[in-house]
Each structure stands twice: as C-alpha cells, then as structure tokens.
Amino acid sequence: MMNRWIGMCLTLFTIVVLTGCWDRAELPERGFVMGIALDHSDDGSIKLTTQMFRPSQGVGLLGGKPAETSYINITTENNTVSRAIRDIPINLGRKSQWSHIRLIIVSEKLARERGMAEILEFFYRDHEPRLTTSIMIAEGTASEYLEIKPLIENTTSQQLFQSGISAADNSGKTTDTNLLKLGLQMKSEVGNALVPYLFLSEQSPKITNVAGAALLKKGKLVGVMKPKKVESLQMLLKDYRSGMLDIPCKEQSKKNQMMESVEIIFYNTKLQPINLSEDSLKVHVKIKLEVALVELSCSKIETIEDEKEFAKIIEETVKQNIKETTDWLKKKKFDAIGLGNQVYRKNPQLWKEWKKDWETRFADTQFDIDVEVRVNNSGTSISKPVF
C-alpha cells in the first residue's frame, strides 16, 4: 500500500515536472504579430516588416493609459523569411507569437521576382500561423502600408484584413483569399491563383484600398485585374456574394450616360465545358440572377412587359460585362476561372494532352453566355423613379 502511494506520487511528480513546458510563456513575454509586410531589400534579401500589437501599460488605473499607437513596426532583413523572423527578438525583446496574424502583405516586386510559394513556405510549414491568414499583394512598397495609421481599428493589419473580407462580401470587387485557398489554387492543375490587390489612393491623406485582384501564375505575379472585372470573374467563379450592378440608360448619348443600379440578391452560375473531344473548347455559362431595384433614373416598370424589358437590359449588361472579362482573360492567356481544373475533372486523359498548351487553348475557348434575370422587388417604393 505504502509503495503504491509512493509510486503514484512519483508518477504524478514526473508528469507535472518533466512534461510539456517547451512553449510556456506568459502573455507579457510574447509579442503578438498582427501583420507582416514582405519587401525586396536593396541587396536582394528579404525585408520583413512585422507589425506587433503594443499593449497599453496596464499598471495603475483600470486599463491603463492608452499608448500613442497600439502597434509598432519592426523591420528585419535576412536571406530567408524564417531567419528574418528569428531576428525580431533582437529588436523587440519578446518572442513573436504568430497565431493571431491577420494579414501578409507581399510587395508587387517581390511577388513578381521570387514567387509566393518560396516566400510563404514558412507560413505553411510552421505550426503557429493559421492557414486562415489573409494574404494580399501590394502596389509599391509593402511596408509602407503598415506605417499608415488605421482609421478605426487598432492596427492597420486589422483594418486591411477586414476591408479585404468586406470588400469581397459586399461589393465583389476583390477576392477573399487566405493561405489555405491560395495553397489549393497554386496546387491545382492549372496552378493560377487570385490574390486581393492593395493600393493607396492618390489623393492625400493616403487611404488604403483593397480592390481588384493580382494574378499569380505558378506563384509569380503576372498581372493585376481591375475591380470591375473582378466582379464578373467572381460571378463566373460562383464566389460572388452580393453587390451592385450598374445599368446604363438606353437612348442616351454616350457623353452624359445616366446609370441605374440594381442589387444582386441571389445568383447561381453553371459553368460547363462542352465539346471536350474536339480541338476547340466551348464553355457554356448559365447565370441566373435575382435582383432588387436600388436606383432608378430613367426606367419605369409598370407592366409585366416593362419588367421583362428591364430584365433584358440587365441581362445584356451582365453578358457584356462577363464577355469583357473573359476576353481580357483570354488576351492575357490566364485561366482564372479554373477551367482547366474542370477539364481535368471531366476527362483526365484529355487534360494530359492539353496541359502543355493549355494557355493557348484557353485563349481560343469560346464562351457561350446565357443570363437569366428576375426582378424580385423594387425596394420600399413603386417601380419608377421616385422623383
């Protein structure tokens, strides 16, 4: 009995003392990384700007005196990202903690030259960063964006992270990518990926914008897509959540074009490659839209015929938008809609043949677009201009 007790006490003691202490750190011993910016430094190595959360000094009154800014930026330079990260404590004195990182910004130049796969390898492999971290490609120097004072949020990283999500959610003007989605896209058969594009507005004070998409081919930046085209692309990708659609008024001179707008409430896209066996690829796109009237400036929808006519105009507009986008993509020879993946899924044998010259084949693809619109409601007023 006595031996059993001693044995149990020893076991408990060893369990408690000898295990699991390796990642022990109190909260004040850690520096929480909110976001990072990756740039090319002058000598060709990687310049890492890390935005850390700076807690307000809590001693004294409840909550303490608020610090001037709730973040600090630390810049380290080294040949690889991981070595640059290990250099952070040299400046900061605290071990960086990566699990709450909101955003990774990569500068356009770095993305063009070194490729995302190489830069982001660390974030896929290490256990602390999450795969749900947002990623963006920035115009100009990436670290510049982290220096800008946030408008409402605690840190710029948080602000950019949220603008990325809400821009994709509410207007469809950019895509919403995180490390996981990006990884899946880069690992897919086609290997093309879309990343939100970040730029500064031209007027001062400079305000950050997240709109448009950077196009990545094999992990390297090849071009940037305009926000309006991203909207149509999102529709093709079945990733569109909600947004506004501008409808030009008919019978108007090109100079002073009046616009009406509708909100897309519900949509469904079917994208089907047909004629797989033949040399030329044909894609059938069927889009179903349900819209609500938001702004009317010239149309009157009083009869069923009016409504049908109005729906037709919308259909035409959407068709036009999508056609512009696909034409642009075809011109760029960039398969952003993952058509190749669909071909691979339907006919893997054929894809093996096609994969080599997929880009030219994509450029020759015919898009057969079919749009169906239903006007669902007219808001809180009747279906003609209020004034």
Partner 1 sequence: MSFFKSLVQSLSRDRNSGQANQDVSSKAAVPKISSHLSDNQQRMKETFDRCTDIVVLPWQYGPDMRYSAFSIYVDTLIQKKEYNYLKQSLQDLVTHEIGPGTMITPEDISFYFENNVASARTAIIIEDLDDAINKVLQGHIVIFFDKWNKALGYQATGLETRQVTESISEPVVQGPRESTVENLKKNLGMLRERLKNPNFKIEKIETTRETKTKVAYGYLEGAVNAEVLAEFQRRIAKIKDKDILETSYIEEIIEDSVYSPFPQHRYTERTDVAIASLLEGKIVVLVEGTGSILICPGLLMELLQSSEDYYQRTVIASLIRMIRFVALFISIGLPSLYIAISTYHPELIPTVLLLAIVNSREGIPFPAVIEAIIMEFFFELLREAGIRLPRPVGSAVSIVGALVIGEAAISAGIASPIMVIIVALTGIASFAIPQYNFAIAMRILRFPLMLFAGFMGIFGIMIAFLLIWLHLANLRSLGQPYLSPLGPFIPRQIKDVFVRAPHGILMRSPRNRHMRKPSK
Output 38 or 52, the one with its CB closest to partner 1: 52
Q: Among the candidate windows 96-104, 177-185, 227-235, 326-334, which touches partner 1 by CB under 8 A?
A: 96-104
For partner 1, the binding residue among 6, 25, 180, 259 (CB under 8 A) is 25
Please tell me whether residue 35 adopts helix, strand or coil conformation. Answer: strand
Regarding 126 and contact with partner 1 (CB under 8 A), the answer is no
Regarding 294 and contact with partner 1 (CB under 8 A), the answer is no
Output 15 or 386, the one with its CB closest to partner 1: 15
Closest CB 169 distance from partner 1, rounded Å: 18
- Residues 200, 145: contact at Cβ < 8 Å? yes
Regarding 2 and contact with partner 1 (CB under 8 A), the answer is no
Please tell me whether residue 387 adopts helix, strand or coil conformation. Answer: coil
For partner 1, the binding residue among 121, 128, 169, 364 (CB under 8 A) is 128
Regarding 30 and contact with partner 1 (CB under 8 A), the answer is yes
Regarding 97 and contact with partner 1 (CB under 8 A), the answer is yes
Q: What is the DSSP letter of 349?
A: H
Regarding 1 and contact with partner 1 (CB under 8 A), the answer is no
Binding mask 139-178 for partner 1 (x = CB under 8 A): ---------------x---x--------------------
**Structure-token match 């003007």, residue found:** 173
Q: Which of residues 176-235 bind partner 1 (CB under 8 A)?
A: none
The dihedrals phi and psi of 370, each to the nearest 5 degrees, come to -130, 120
Strands 30-40, 46-53: pairing is antiparallel
**Which tokens go with 106?**
């990569």
- Residues 90, 22: contact at Cβ < 8 Å? no
The dihedrals phi and psi of 292, each to the nearest 5 degrees, come to -120, 145
Taking the alpha carbons at both ends of the chain, their separation in whole angstroms is 93
Regarding 93 and contact with partner 1 (CB under 8 A), the answer is no
Amino acid letter, residue 189: E
Output 60 or 205, the one with its CB closest to partner 1: 60
For partner 1, the binding residue among 3, 4, 24, 387 (CB under 8 A) is 24
Regarding 56 and contact with partner 1 (CB under 8 A), the answer is yes
Q: Among the candidate windows 36-44, 51-59, 222-230, 259-267, which touches partner 1 by CB under 8 A?
A: 51-59
Regarding 99 and contact with partner 1 (CB under 8 A), the answer is yes
65-71: Cβ within 8 A, 24+ apart: 69/149, 70/154, 70/155, 71/34, 71/154, 71/155, 71/156, 71/157
Cα–Cα nearest to 137, from 109, 117, 165, 156: 109
Regarding 82 and contact with partner 1 (CB under 8 A), the answer is no
CB neighbour list of residue 119: distance below 8 Å, 6 or more residues apart? 38, 46, 81, 106, 110, 111
State how far the Cα of 231 lies from the Cα of 172, in Å rounded to an integer.
5
CA distances from 296 to 156, 255, 385 (A): 37, 19, 5
Output 97 or 342, the one with its CB closest to partner 1: 97
State how far the Cα of 236 lies from the Cα of 212, in Å rounded to an integer.
15
DSSP-assigned beta bridge partners for residue 286: 270, 370
Give the total of residues touching partner 1 (CB under 8 A): 35
State how far the Cα of 79 lies from the Cα of 74, in Å rounded to an integer.
17
For partner 1, the binding residue among 2, 43, 44, 61 (CB under 8 A) is 61
* Number of C-beta neighbours around residue 357 at 10 A: 10
Q: Among the candidate windows 19-27, 163-171, 237-245, 283-291, which touches partner 1 by CB under 8 A?
A: 19-27
Q: Among the candidate windows 13-21, 190-198, 227-235, 356-364, which touches partner 1 by CB under 8 A?
A: 13-21
For partner 1, the binding residue among 16, 151, 180, 386 (CB under 8 A) is 16
Q: Among the candidate windows 20-28, 188-196, 309-317, 321-329, which touches partner 1 by CB under 8 A?
A: 20-28
For partner 1, the binding residue among 28, 44, 93, 205 (CB under 8 A) is 28
Regarding 275 and contact with partner 1 (CB under 8 A), the answer is no
Regarding 55 and contact with partner 1 (CB under 8 A), the answer is yes
Regarding 100 and contact with partner 1 (CB under 8 A), the answer is yes
- Residues 191, 116: contact at Cβ < 8 Å? no
- Residues at the contact surface with partner 1, assessed by CB under 8 A: 12, 15-17, 19-21, 23-28, 30, 32, 53, 55-64, 70, 97, 99-100, 102, 128, 130, 154, 158
